[in-house]
Structure 1
Amino acid sequence: MSDAEMMQLYSKRILALAADIPHLGPIEGAQGSAKTRSPHCGSTVTAHVRMQDGRIADFGQEVRACALGQASAGVLGQAVMGASRAEIAAGAEQLLAMLKQGGKVPDAPFDGLEVLIPARDYPNRHASIMLSWQATLEAIDAAEADRQTASHG
Protein backbone atom coordinates (compact mmCIF):
# COMPACT_ATOMS: atom_id res chain seq x y z
CA MET A 1 0.00 0.00 0.00
CA SER A 2 1.47 3.35 -1.02
CA ASP A 3 1.71 6.30 1.35
CA ALA A 4 -0.96 8.13 -0.67
CA GLU A 5 -3.32 5.15 -0.32
CA MET A 6 -2.68 5.03 3.43
CA MET A 7 -3.38 8.75 3.73
CA GLN A 8 -6.68 8.34 1.89
CA LEU A 9 -7.62 5.32 3.98
CA TYR A 10 -6.85 7.09 7.25
CA SER A 11 -8.46 10.37 6.31
CA LYS A 12 -8.99 13.17 8.80
CA ARG A 13 -12.66 12.22 9.18
CA ILE A 14 -11.75 8.64 10.08
CA LEU A 15 -9.15 9.79 12.58
CA ALA A 16 -11.60 12.27 14.11
CA LEU A 17 -14.21 9.54 14.59
CA ALA A 18 -11.57 7.22 16.04
CA ALA A 19 -10.46 9.88 18.51
CA ASP A 20 -13.98 10.61 19.79
CA ILE A 21 -15.79 7.29 20.27
CA PRO A 22 -19.03 7.75 22.24
CA HIS A 23 -19.94 5.48 25.16
CA LEU A 24 -16.47 4.15 25.93
CA GLY A 25 -16.13 1.74 28.81
CA PRO A 26 -18.36 -0.71 30.65
CA ILE A 27 -21.74 0.32 32.05
CA GLU A 28 -23.47 -0.22 35.39
CA GLY A 29 -26.14 -2.91 35.34
CA ALA A 30 -25.36 -4.34 31.91
CA GLN A 31 -27.84 -7.07 31.02
CA GLY A 32 -25.67 -8.38 28.21
CA SER A 33 -22.03 -8.17 27.22
CA ALA A 34 -20.06 -9.70 24.37
CA LYS A 35 -16.47 -9.59 23.17
CA THR A 36 -15.53 -10.06 19.53
CA ARG A 37 -12.07 -10.47 18.06
CA SER A 38 -10.68 -10.21 14.55
CA PRO A 39 -8.45 -13.19 13.76
CA HIS A 40 -6.70 -11.13 11.06
CA CYS A 41 -5.32 -8.36 13.23
CA GLY A 42 -6.16 -9.20 16.84
CA SER A 43 -8.47 -6.19 17.27
CA THR A 44 -11.15 -6.64 19.93
CA VAL A 45 -14.38 -4.90 20.88
CA THR A 46 -16.47 -5.60 23.95
CA ALA A 47 -20.01 -4.22 24.00
CA HIS A 48 -22.28 -3.85 27.03
CA VAL A 49 -26.02 -3.16 26.84
CA ARG A 50 -28.97 -2.53 29.05
CA MET A 51 -32.25 -3.00 27.21
CA GLN A 52 -35.67 -1.50 27.87
CA ASP A 53 -38.77 -2.35 25.82
CA GLY A 54 -36.62 -3.98 23.11
CA ARG A 55 -34.38 -0.94 22.67
CA ILE A 56 -30.92 -0.02 23.90
CA ALA A 57 -31.33 2.06 27.06
CA ASP A 58 -27.64 2.13 27.99
CA PHE A 59 -24.53 1.18 26.05
CA GLY A 60 -20.80 0.94 26.56
CA GLN A 61 -17.98 -0.31 24.41
CA GLU A 62 -14.34 -1.13 24.93
CA VAL A 63 -12.54 -0.72 21.62
CA ARG A 64 -9.05 -2.04 20.91
CA ALA A 65 -8.86 -1.74 17.14
CA CYS A 66 -7.21 0.08 14.27
CA ALA A 67 -8.46 3.53 13.27
CA LEU A 68 -10.95 1.98 10.84
CA GLY A 69 -12.45 -0.24 13.54
CA GLN A 70 -12.50 2.71 15.92
CA ALA A 71 -14.23 4.92 13.34
CA SER A 72 -16.89 2.26 12.79
CA ALA A 73 -17.39 2.03 16.58
CA GLY A 74 -17.64 5.82 16.66
CA VAL A 75 -20.46 5.93 14.11
CA LEU A 76 -22.29 3.13 15.91
CA GLY A 77 -21.83 4.85 19.26
CA GLN A 78 -23.32 8.09 17.94
CA ALA A 79 -26.60 6.41 16.99
CA VAL A 80 -26.95 3.33 19.20
CA MET A 81 -29.07 4.76 22.02
CA GLY A 82 -32.71 3.82 21.57
CA ALA A 83 -31.99 1.47 18.68
CA SER A 84 -33.56 -1.97 18.41
CA ARG A 85 -31.69 -5.14 17.55
CA ALA A 86 -33.29 -5.09 14.10
CA GLU A 87 -32.02 -1.55 13.46
CA ILE A 88 -28.48 -2.47 14.54
CA ALA A 89 -28.61 -5.64 12.42
CA ALA A 90 -29.80 -3.67 9.38
CA GLY A 91 -26.96 -1.17 9.81
CA ALA A 92 -24.44 -4.02 10.09
CA GLU A 93 -25.81 -5.74 6.98
CA GLN A 94 -25.71 -2.50 5.00
CA LEU A 95 -22.16 -1.79 6.19
CA LEU A 96 -20.98 -5.24 5.14
CA ALA A 97 -22.70 -4.89 1.76
CA MET A 98 -21.08 -1.46 1.28
CA LEU A 99 -17.66 -2.94 2.00
CA LYS A 100 -17.89 -6.28 0.19
CA GLN A 101 -20.30 -5.72 -2.69
CA GLY A 102 -19.86 -2.02 -3.31
CA GLY A 103 -23.38 -1.46 -1.97
CA LYS A 104 -24.83 1.89 -1.02
CA VAL A 105 -23.98 3.78 2.14
CA PRO A 106 -26.04 2.55 5.12
CA ASP A 107 -29.27 4.37 5.87
CA ALA A 108 -29.49 7.08 8.53
CA PRO A 109 -28.64 7.17 11.37
CA PHE A 110 -25.64 5.09 10.25
CA ASP A 111 -24.89 7.08 7.08
CA GLY A 112 -21.70 8.40 8.71
CA LEU A 113 -20.19 5.05 7.71
CA GLU A 114 -19.70 6.61 4.28
CA VAL A 115 -16.27 7.62 5.59
CA LEU A 116 -15.27 3.94 5.35
CA ILE A 117 -15.88 3.58 1.60
CA PRO A 118 -12.09 3.65 0.88
CA ALA A 119 -11.77 0.50 3.03
CA ARG A 120 -13.62 -1.50 0.35
CA ASP A 121 -10.27 -2.09 -1.31
CA TYR A 122 -8.76 -3.57 1.87
CA PRO A 123 -10.67 -6.75 2.72
CA ASN A 124 -8.20 -7.57 5.49
CA ARG A 125 -9.64 -4.56 7.41
CA HIS A 126 -13.31 -5.52 7.05
CA ALA A 127 -13.33 -7.80 10.11
CA SER A 128 -12.05 -4.99 12.34
CA ILE A 129 -14.64 -2.59 10.91
CA MET A 130 -17.45 -5.05 11.72
CA LEU A 131 -16.36 -5.86 15.29
CA SER A 132 -18.39 -3.23 17.16
CA TRP A 133 -21.53 -4.22 15.26
CA GLN A 134 -21.06 -7.94 15.95
CA ALA A 135 -20.28 -7.32 19.63
CA THR A 136 -23.36 -5.13 20.02
CA LEU A 137 -25.65 -7.70 18.39
CA GLU A 138 -24.19 -10.47 20.56
CA ALA A 139 -24.60 -8.32 23.69
CA ILE A 140 -28.26 -7.69 22.80
CA ASP A 141 -28.73 -11.44 22.27
CA ALA A 142 -27.11 -12.13 25.66
CA ALA A 143 -29.42 -9.59 27.32
CA GLU A 144 -32.44 -11.16 25.66
CA ALA A 145 -31.35 -14.68 26.69
CA ASP A 146 -30.89 -13.46 30.26
CA ARG A 147 -34.34 -11.85 30.21
CA GLN A 148 -35.90 -15.09 28.88
CA THR A 149 -34.17 -17.13 31.58
CA ALA A 150 -35.27 -14.72 34.32
CA SER A 151 -38.90 -14.75 33.16
CA HIS A 152 -38.98 -18.56 33.08
CA GLY A 153 -37.02 -19.08 36.31
Structure 2
Amino acid sequence: MSGENDLIKLYSTRILALASDIPHTDRLDSPDATVKKRSPLCGSTVTVDLQINDGVVSDFGQDVKACALGQAAASVVGGAIIGTTPAQIAAARDALKAMLKSDGPTPPAPFDGLEVLRPAAAYKNRHASIMLTLDAAVEAAEIAQKAHCA
Protein backbone atom coordinates (compact mmCIF):
# COMPACT_ATOMS: atom_id res chain seq x y z
CA MET A 1 0.00 0.00 0.00
CA SER A 2 2.86 2.44 0.71
CA GLY A 3 4.10 1.99 -2.88
CA GLU A 4 0.70 3.08 -4.12
CA ASN A 5 0.77 6.12 -1.80
CA ASP A 6 4.22 7.04 -3.10
CA LEU A 7 2.94 6.89 -6.66
CA ILE A 8 -0.01 9.11 -5.76
CA LYS A 9 2.43 11.63 -4.22
CA LEU A 10 4.48 11.51 -7.40
CA TYR A 11 1.54 12.91 -9.33
CA SER A 12 1.54 16.11 -7.30
CA THR A 13 -0.79 19.00 -7.91
CA ARG A 14 2.09 20.90 -9.56
CA ILE A 15 2.88 18.06 -11.98
CA LEU A 16 -0.77 17.68 -12.91
CA ALA A 17 -1.09 21.45 -13.41
CA LEU A 18 1.92 21.46 -15.74
CA ALA A 19 0.56 18.45 -17.63
CA SER A 20 -2.75 20.19 -18.23
CA ASP A 21 -1.19 23.41 -19.57
CA ILE A 22 1.48 22.52 -22.13
CA PRO A 23 2.70 25.54 -24.12
CA HIS A 24 3.47 25.53 -27.84
CA THR A 25 1.24 22.60 -28.79
CA ASP A 26 0.71 23.91 -32.32
CA ARG A 27 3.00 22.33 -34.89
CA LEU A 28 5.12 24.73 -36.95
CA ASP A 29 4.31 25.28 -40.61
CA SER A 30 7.94 25.43 -41.75
CA PRO A 31 10.32 24.20 -39.05
CA ASP A 32 14.05 23.90 -39.57
CA ALA A 33 13.76 20.42 -38.08
CA THR A 34 11.15 17.95 -36.87
CA VAL A 35 11.96 14.99 -34.64
CA LYS A 36 9.62 12.35 -33.27
CA LYS A 37 10.66 10.27 -30.27
CA ARG A 38 8.88 7.28 -28.76
CA SER A 39 9.41 5.49 -25.48
CA PRO A 40 9.30 1.76 -26.25
CA LEU A 41 8.47 0.91 -22.65
CA CYS A 42 5.25 2.89 -22.31
CA GLY A 43 4.47 3.99 -25.88
CA SER A 44 4.61 7.72 -25.10
CA THR A 45 5.48 9.85 -28.14
CA VAL A 46 6.58 13.43 -28.61
CA THR A 47 7.04 15.25 -31.90
CA VAL A 48 9.06 18.46 -31.77
CA ASP A 49 9.26 21.18 -34.42
CA LEU A 50 12.06 23.68 -33.98
CA GLN A 51 13.27 26.79 -35.71
CA ILE A 52 16.64 28.42 -35.03
CA ASN A 53 17.66 31.96 -35.96
CA ASP A 54 20.96 33.60 -35.02
CA GLY A 55 21.96 30.55 -32.98
CA VAL A 56 18.90 30.48 -30.69
CA VAL A 57 15.53 28.78 -30.79
CA SER A 58 13.12 31.27 -32.34
CA ASP A 59 10.05 29.06 -32.59
CA PHE A 60 8.96 25.73 -31.16
CA GLY A 61 5.99 23.43 -31.51
CA GLN A 62 5.25 20.06 -29.98
CA ASP A 63 2.73 17.25 -30.15
CA VAL A 64 2.77 15.34 -26.87
CA LYS A 65 1.13 11.95 -26.33
CA ALA A 66 2.58 10.92 -22.99
CA CYS A 67 1.80 10.20 -19.36
CA ALA A 68 1.38 13.09 -16.93
CA LEU A 69 5.11 13.04 -16.14
CA GLY A 70 6.07 13.26 -19.80
CA GLN A 71 3.48 15.99 -20.29
CA ALA A 72 4.84 17.93 -17.30
CA ALA A 73 8.37 17.73 -18.73
CA ALA A 74 7.06 18.92 -22.11
CA SER A 75 5.30 21.78 -20.37
CA VAL A 76 8.46 22.98 -18.63
CA VAL A 77 10.54 22.63 -21.79
CA GLY A 78 7.91 24.37 -23.92
CA GLY A 79 7.82 27.28 -21.52
CA ALA A 80 11.59 27.66 -21.42
CA ILE A 81 13.04 26.72 -24.80
CA ILE A 82 12.47 29.83 -26.92
CA GLY A 83 15.58 31.99 -26.79
CA THR A 84 17.90 29.17 -25.74
CA THR A 85 20.89 27.82 -27.62
CA PRO A 86 21.37 24.23 -28.70
CA ALA A 87 24.11 23.95 -26.05
CA GLN A 88 21.66 25.02 -23.33
CA ILE A 89 19.13 22.44 -24.51
CA ALA A 90 21.78 19.70 -24.47
CA ALA A 91 22.95 20.78 -21.00
CA ALA A 92 19.35 20.61 -19.73
CA ARG A 93 18.91 17.13 -21.24
CA ASP A 94 22.13 15.87 -19.68
CA ALA A 95 21.29 17.38 -16.29
CA LEU A 96 17.75 15.97 -16.32
CA LYS A 97 19.11 12.51 -17.08
CA ALA A 98 21.65 12.82 -14.24
CA MET A 99 18.97 14.16 -11.88
CA LEU A 100 16.76 11.15 -12.58
CA LYS A 101 19.47 8.47 -12.65
CA SER A 102 21.93 9.60 -9.97
CA ASP A 103 20.34 12.42 -7.95
CA GLY A 104 22.34 14.97 -9.93
CA PRO A 105 21.76 18.71 -9.77
CA THR A 106 18.65 20.40 -11.07
CA PRO A 107 18.88 21.33 -14.77
CA PRO A 108 20.21 24.87 -15.25
CA ALA A 109 17.95 27.87 -15.88
CA PRO A 110 15.79 28.37 -17.79
CA PHE A 111 15.03 24.64 -17.52
CA ASP A 112 15.22 24.56 -13.71
CA GLY A 113 11.46 24.02 -13.51
CA LEU A 114 12.23 20.37 -14.29
CA GLU A 115 13.13 20.06 -10.60
CA VAL A 116 9.45 19.24 -10.04
CA LEU A 117 10.17 15.84 -11.61
CA ARG A 118 12.89 14.86 -9.10
CA PRO A 119 10.49 12.51 -7.21
CA ALA A 120 10.20 10.46 -10.42
CA ALA A 121 13.81 9.32 -10.01
CA ALA A 122 12.53 6.35 -8.02
CA TYR A 123 10.38 5.23 -10.98
CA LYS A 124 12.85 4.12 -13.66
CA ASN A 125 10.02 2.98 -15.93
CA ARG A 126 8.94 6.66 -16.20
CA HIS A 127 12.36 8.12 -17.10
CA ALA A 128 12.11 7.58 -20.88
CA SER A 129 8.79 9.41 -21.07
CA ILE A 130 10.17 12.32 -19.03
CA MET A 131 13.22 12.57 -21.33
CA LEU A 132 11.32 12.52 -24.65
CA THR A 133 10.86 16.25 -25.24
CA LEU A 134 14.45 17.19 -24.43
CA ASP A 135 15.82 14.23 -26.38
CA ALA A 136 13.78 15.30 -29.42
CA ALA A 137 14.68 18.98 -28.97
CA VAL A 138 18.42 18.23 -28.79
CA GLU A 139 18.25 16.18 -31.99
CA ALA A 140 16.11 18.81 -33.74
CA ALA A 141 18.53 21.58 -32.72
CA GLU A 142 21.45 19.59 -34.16
CA ILE A 143 19.59 19.08 -37.45
CA ALA A 144 18.59 22.75 -37.60
CA GLN A 145 22.15 23.91 -36.94
CA LYS A 146 23.48 21.69 -39.73
CA ALA A 147 20.82 23.04 -42.10
CA HIS A 148 21.89 26.62 -41.34
CA CYS A 149 25.57 25.77 -41.90
CA ALA A 150 24.96 24.03 -45.23
Pick the TM interval, shorter chain: over 0.9
Q: Deviations over 1:45-71 (max 9, x none)?
A: 010011101110000011010000000
What's 1:76 paired with?
77
Report the TM-score, using the length of structure 2 for normalisation: 0.94
Root mean square deviation, CA, Å: 1.2
What's 2:9 paired with?
8
Offset, 1:147: 2.6
Aligned partner of 1:30: which letter? P
What's 2:111 paired with?
110
Partners of 1:121 and 1:88 in 2: how far apart?
24
Partners of 1:68 and 1:21 in 2: how far apart?
12
Aligned partner of 2:131: which letter? M
Aligned partner of 2:24: which letter? H
Offset, 1:144: 2.2
Offset, 1:73: 0.6
Q: More displaced, 105-114 or 58-67?
A: 105-114
The runs of 5 or more residues in structure 2 that have no matched partner are none
SS of the aligned residue for 1:2 comes to: helix
Q: Percent identity over the alignment?
A: 52
Are residues 1:54 and 2:52 paired? no
Report the TM-score, using the length of structure 1 for normalisation: 0.93
Residues matched between the structures, number: 149
Kindly indicate whether the alpha-carbon contact (under 8 Å) linking 1:14 and 1:68 is maintained by their aligned counterparts in 2. yes
Q: Show structure 1 runs of 4+ deviating over 3 A.
A: none
The runs of 5 or more residues in structure 1 that have no matched partner are none
